[in-house]
Amino acid sequence: MPLTDERVPLHRLTFARPGPPRRTTLSDGSPAWVFTRYADVHQVIGDGRFRRTLIRASRDGATALVDSPDAVGKLDDVQHLRVRRTVQRAFGPRAVARMTPWVADAVDELVDALADHGPPADLVAHYTRPLPIAVMSRLTGVQDVSDARLLRWTENAFATGAQDPAEVAEVTREFTDFTIGLLAERRRTPGPDLISSLVRAADGEGGIPEPQLVNLVSILVVGGYDTVMTVLGNSLLYLLHERPEVWTRLGTSDEEAAGLLTERLLHLLPLGDPTAHSNPLQAEEDIEVGGVTVRAGEIVTVDRGAAGRDPAAFSDEPFDDLFAPLESPTLAFGGGRHYCLGTWLARAELRLALHALAARFPHLHLTTPVDEITWRRGTITRSPLHLPARW
Ligand code: HEM
């Protein structure tokens, strides 16, 4: 059966060829510049004169949490910095280094449970989904929410617009009410968890508008697990189906090699399908980029997928040696002021999860052919719903 677009595994997606800036039209009809070269994308996302708030009004109809005007990804300047500062220390490299032992324990517990279960087993149900849920539960102290409810909240928080808007609004309301309750509870009885320290930091900042804090906490509760589950699932699909020799080598490799492989997978496997025009920005003054002048008020957008394959920055054959260090810093986590806050945690979780699984199950293989995989769709991320495996 030929693969249709939405069934193409993420490692086989093709991207626009990087080239000079060109004109495009966004989904709402507005004209925009699109940047596809690594250097241009790097410049645009690193330049604070490209702002997020100015075009917010055009997206105010959206109800998904990431599209809300209160989302950290939609704020600029001091408002943005204040929200970021509350969470930055909790997720920096030092904090993540302190978490690594218990993340490794969570990985080991799941690997043991998989061994006890025995083949066949679904790697999504037994590994890629429960691991990030366990990590985020421990981090946030949110333990009494069923996986089904968490999944429903996630799909709504990251909805692409394909869903019924009334339903998205309804579930978003339910999720927001939950978060409001959670914040109230942690204010009353603070604990050693991330949410309690966020509340403390936010109140210490002289008060962050409550809707921004509610949005941030909601995004952390679901975002932290959805992203890692997605990359882990797509990595396993790729490695086990197409690179058994890499899987074998990973099982006997050291931490450093596992880290290099993780970085390359993060770089090569996008979180979802290319939606070239996500997160448009607006120039607050005339700015030169890539040989063109973006005029004040014009809208620009970046294609990180295309830029990630730019031969001026990366190898022509990026899949060849998966253990080779990346030739340039990846754009997978964005850049500039909105650089992903979960970078260090995501890297550590993925490295530990891939490494431990390969070490314990060197003969792991998937039993469903790649073109029969069913996909989780309708959100900005896409990953296999099931990965039936034997060993
Ligand atoms: C494989 C894992 C992940 C990838 C590929 C990823 C990717 C990204 C990207 C590209 C951005 C920038 C978006 C923009 O420019 O607006 C971003 C922002 C963000 N990410 Fe991640 N992410 C991952 C994991 C995580 C995790 C585990 C967390 C939290 C626990 C997290 C929390 C955030 C937050 C809060 C922002 C907003 C930062 C801001 O706007 O200042 N991410 N992520």
- Each residue of 26-80: pLDDT tens digit? 877 889 999 999 999 999 999 999 998 655 444 445 467 888 889 999 899 888 9
Question: What average pLDDT does range 239-246 have in this prediction?
Answer: 97
Tokens of 130: 């429960």
Q: Which residue is closest in CA terms to ligand 1's atom 20?
A: 340
Q: In this predicted structure, which of 59-68, 333-342, 369-378 has the lowest mean pLDDT?
A: 59-68
Q: Please report the atom of ligand 1 found closest to the CA of residue 331.
A: 10
| 153 closest CA partner among 127, 123, 126, 133 | 133
The domain made up of 5-13+62-281+333-390 has a fold known as: Cytochrome p450 (1.10.630)
Residue 55 near residue 280 (C-beta atoms within 8 A): yes
What band does 185 get if pLDDT is binned at 50, 70 and 90?
Answer: very high
Q: Which one has a higher pLDDT value, 233 or 147?
A: 233
Question: Phi/psi zone of residue 253: left (φ > 0), alpha (ψ -120 to 50 degrees), beta?
Answer: beta
Question: What average pLDDT does range 308-323 have in this prediction?
Answer: 96
Q: Is 334 in the pocket of ligand 1 (CB under 6 A)?
A: yes
- Check whether the bond before 120 is cis (ω within 30° of 0): yes
Q: Is 182 in the pocket of ligand 1 (CB under 6 A)?
A: no
pLDDT number for residue 6: 75
Q: In this predicted structure, which of 8-22, 231-245, 266-280 has the lowest mean pLDDT?
A: 266-280
pLDDT number for residue 1: 34
Quote the ligand 1 centre to 191 CA distance (angstroms): 25
pLDDT number for residue 59: 44
Residue 2 has pLDDT above 50, yes or no: no
Q: Is 341 in the pocket of ligand 1 (CB under 6 A)?
A: yes
Q: What pTM did the predictor assign?
A: 0.94
Q: Is 279 in the pocket of ligand 1 (CB under 6 A)?
A: yes
The angle at the Cα of 289, spanning 272 to 343, to the nearest 5 degrees, equals 35
User: Under 8 Å CB-to-CB from 353, ≥6 apart: which residues?
Assistant: 107, 127, 128, 131, 232
Q: Which residue is closest in CA terms to ligand 1's atom 9?
A: 333
Q: Please report the atom of ligand 1 found closest to the CA of residue 337.
A: 41
For 95-135, the pLDDT digits (tens) are 899 999 999 999 999 999 999 999 999 999 999 999 999 99
Quote the radius of gyration of the chain (alpha carbons, Å): 21
Angle between helices 165-188 and 147-157 (to 10 degrees): 120
Integer Cα distance of 337 and 80 in angstroms? 9
Integer Cα distance of 163 and 171 in angstroms? 11
Residue 92 has pLDDT above 90, yes or no: no
Q: Which is it for strands 281-283 and 31-35: parallel, antiparallel or unpaired?
A: unpaired
State whether the Cα torsion 9-11-12-18 is positive or negative.
Answer: positive
Q: Which range, 118-122, 191-195, 221-225, has the best average confidence (pLDDT)?
A: 118-122
pLDDT number for residue 278: 64
User: Which residues on adjacent β-strands are paired with residue 302?
Assistant: 35
Quote the ligand 1 centre to 348 CA distance (angstroms): 14
In one-letter notation, the amino acid at residue 260 is L
Q: Which one has a higher pLDDT value, 4 or 282?
A: 282
Question: What average pLDDT does range 217-226 have in this prediction?
Answer: 89
Q: Which is it for strands 388-390 and 299-302: parallel, antiparallel or unpaired?
A: unpaired
The angle at the Cα of 224, spanning 220 to 230, to the nearest 5 degrees, equals 145
pLDDT number for residue 60: 43
For 347-357, the pLDDT digits (tens) are 999 999 999 99
DSSP-derived secondary structure letter, 255: H
Taking all residues of the chain, what is their mean pLDDT, rounded to a whole number?
Answer: 90
Q: Is 228 in the pocket of ligand 1 (CB under 6 A)?
A: yes
Residues of the chain with pLDDT > 90, as a percent, come to 66
For 123-166, the pLDDT digits (tens) are 999 999 999 999 999 999 888 888 888 888 888 888 776 667 78
Residue 287 has pLDDT above 70, yes or no: yes
The domain ranges of the chain are 5-13+62-281+333-390
Phi, psi for 16 (deg, rounded to 5): -60, 150
Q: Which is it for strands 299-302 and 31-35: parallel, antiparallel or unpaired?
A: parallel
pLDDT number for residue 64: 76
pLDDT number for residue 58: 42
Q: Hey, which of 219, 340, 354 would you mutate to test ligand 1's pocket, going by the most ligand atoms within 8 Å of its Cβ?
A: 340
